[in-house]
Amino acid sequence: MENKTGYYSVAASTVTSILIVVLFYVFAIHKVSQSTQYTYTDVYVGMVYVFILSMIVSASIWPGVIEKFNPSLTTASSL
């Protein structure tokens, strides 16, 4: 059986990062609408930064979580 932990980790990291970026966008737009201190460009650049940072962090967390809850994904077939 092929090791699919990597595929699931990338998918989980991407979904997690997108959700975090959406949360950041909602809070940032709320802040921009109240104050003129930040611009929409700041929000968009912040979204890119948050996505990259959350991908780095979640890429180190998800493989361990996936292996813990589904150990059958990491077992290699012995011949």
Question: Which residue range forms the structural domain that includes residue 48?
Answer: 18-66
Q: What is the pLDDT of residues 4-27, one digit of tens each?
A: 778 889 999 999 999 999 999 999
Specify if 9 maps to a domain: no
Instruction: Please give the model's pTM, rounded to 2 decimal places.
Output: 0.80
- Report H helices in the chain: 5-34, 40-69
Q: Does residue 65 or residue 2 have the better pLDDT?
A: 65
Task: Indicate the number of domains in the chain.
Answer: 1
Specify if 13 maps to a domain: no
Specify if 6 maps to a domain: no
Specify if 7 maps to a domain: no
Percent of the chain whose predicted confidence (pLDDT) is above 90: 56
For residue 5, count CB atoms less than 10 angstroms from its CB and return exposed for 0-12, middle for 13-18, buried for 19 or more: middle
